[in-house]
Each structure stands twice: as C-alpha cells, then as structure tokens.
Chains A and B, each alone.
Chain A
C-alpha cells in the first residue's frame, strides 16, 4: 500500500480561541498563532435575504467568515513568527 510523503509545512492557527489553541497543542505539532482582525458582522452570504444576516444560512455564513479570516491573514502569514521547527506530516496511507 503506497504511502504519501508530505512536504514540510509551517502551521499557523488563525484563531484567538484559547480552546482551539489548546486542542491544536495536543497534537504536539509546532504552530504559530495569528489573529484576524475582521468585522465578522460585516460578512454576509449570497443566501442572506436582502442583507438580512440573521436569516442567512448558518453553514454558508460560518464558512464565509472562516474564509474571510483566512483571506485577512494571508498577507501576514509570512511575517508571523515561525515556530521552532516546521512540521512534516508523517507518511500516511491512501486517504
């Protein structure tokens, strides 16, 4: 069974959540933390009826906000302080 060798990656957690940080710490992977300073309330989805955010589809809205955080962080990712070492994913079987 063929295995897949991943290249080395830096890992950046783009969240201010203390809980998510704890969870990721449990993996033992080195990672850096960056917080996206975006106005979540300004994020809307096409499904939101005429800008009525309260009636948006929650799935689309949560994905849109998560992507907006990623978009806001991308220009800064390279300047985020790197962890001590990069992470190389272990070889895994077919996914």
Chain B
C-alpha cells in the first residue's frame, strides 16, 4: 500500500482542477510577452475563447479518482456554481461511483476598449495565466453573470441601485449628498461617454466590467445622468433608463433629460461597437400622461435602437393606469417586445407582473 493511502489516517478527498484555454482549435499557453498578451485579448472579440475545465476528486483511502462534470457549464468554468457538482462528485467518489466528464464553455467577449486592454496587460497576473484569460482578475473583472448597461436619470431619493439589473453586491456607489457640479450643457452631455476622451469614464474595480459617468444635470433639482454598463457571455449591451424626477419638475425638463440620456446611450453604443438591448425604466411617475408621453418621446428618439433589438420596459412606483397607458403604446403595430415589471416598491402591488406583445 502506498504510503499516502489511508493507513490510520482519516481518509481525505483531494480536489484538484485545471482549466485550459483553446482558441481556434489551438491550446493557448501563458503569454510570453505583453505584446502577445495584448494580441490574445484583442483576438477574443473575433472568436470566442473556449475554456475546458476539469475537476478531479481523489479519495486517498481508495485511490479512486473521478472527473466531475456539471450541467452548469459556464458557471462552473467561472467557478461560481462549482459547489453543487463538487458535492455530487464527493458523494460519487465516497460511495464508489464515478462521474466522468469535463466542462466546456465558450466565452464571448465584446471588443475590449483599448484602455481596458492596457490595464489588463499591465497586470502581472495576466502573464501567468493561459491565454491571458483570467476571469477572476482583481484588476479588471471582465464578466458579470448578466448584461447591464445602465443609463439612469434620477435624483438623490431614487438611486439607480434600487432598480438596476445588476443590483446586488455591486450596488451603485452614489454621489454623496451636497455634491454639486454645473450642468455642462447639451453639447457637452452628448459628447460625454466618448471612448478614451472623457476622464469620467473609468473601469471599475468591482466584479463586472463597468464604466460610468456621473453628471449633475441640474443643480436645483439634483438630477443626475448616471451611466454604466458591463458585458456578459451573451455579448449584448443592455441599457437602462431610469426616470425618477421630483414631482415639481416639468414634462419639458424630463423630456430634455431623456434626450440627454439617449445621446449618452448612443455614445456608449459607439464605444462598444454594437447595437444593444434597450431597457426603459420609468419610475416614480404616477401621472399617466407624463409616463405615456415620456415613453412615446423616447420611442421616437430611440427608434433605430428599438427597431434593432428588443425593448424592455420596467416600471417602478407607477400607478396601474400609467402602466396600462404605457403598455398600450407597445401593444400597437410596433410589434415590440415588452416586459413590464411591477417592482416590489410599487404602492399598488407588491407582486411582479409581466406582459408581452410581439
């Protein structure tokens, strides 16, 4: 009996794992230079990287090994949902069974902005990872389980973290109270998210790749244009508008803000080089006419984006009449996909409700 086997020792389950990266049928090794690292990162926009992950559980009492397979392919590769298959594998090894297999997942990337690649290349950890492929990089996290591009027009009372699709442990850091910036005007706002030019854009150190712009649009009403987005395996861009303005603000101001948000949205699309999914969120607008007017105006302004993809409408703190009014806009001949979500903070209903028209 080999020395490491059992004996009087308590049996041990040893878990080892490895992931290799394959690109166009070729195994990618660790980059040998920063130039190669940069080349690798750029190439993933052309074709997805294929990650192949194996998890081996070894029972030291018996020497039996099993390769654990999971049905949650992408999550396992990311290491997120490794728990369940691991437990299953532990049981399988412990009781004498064996599960064979390896998880294979394709990782789709948007074209990475130049400044993100620069930041990644500068990270020494990237040189020690095969294919310069490191989801768990601490410097520039590249993925999040869901897409989120968020353009939020809101005020201090309604932070977008309460409605943003990527809420959770990545709560949006909100501007401290009392912060004041002068409204730079429509022209400056329209040019705001241009890639590499605005100092306001920066890669977050949080889990998802995220860039954001904050702009105080109006000093007196504390309105803000808040922009952020991140990408995921689906390779799609999603935009969320949140319109939550104080009741005293007029319709004209809201529409002006909506147009500013659309400008930022288009700029974000230019940076990412693709047409994304548009999510329109109307919050805190109890007056039916305002809500429907906003939606109509936004649909006209965003028609190219809307026609190119699907539109999701999220409604929060909106009266049932306003919601019905907005839904009516989508149920016409526009043939748009609509998903309305009655959020938990809605006064009328605490349950989620959805409607779709296609």
Q: Chain A interface (Cβ within 8 Å of chain B)? A: 4, 6-15, 17-20, 22-24, 26-27, 34, 36, 40-41, 53-56, 58-59, 61-63, 65-67, 69-70, 73-75, 77-78, 82, 86, 89, 92, 95
Contacts and interface: CB of A to CB of B under 8 A. Distances in A.
B18 A40 contact: yes
A23 B20 contact: no
A2 B74 CA distance: 33
B187 interface: no
Contacts of A67: 16, 56, 65
Interface in B12-29: 12-20, 22, 25-27, 29
A95 B97 contact: yes
B128 to A, nearest CB: 10
A73 B16 contact: yes
Nearest to A33: B15
Interface in B62-96: 65, 67, 78-80, 82-83, 86-88, 90-92, 94-95
Given A9-B94, A41-B29, A66 B82 contact: no
B79 A17 contact: yes
Contact of A66 (B16, B50, B60): B16
B11 A75 contact: no
B52 interface: yes
A81 to B, nearest CB: 12
Contacts of A95: 88, 91-92, 95, 97
A71 to B, nearest CB: 9
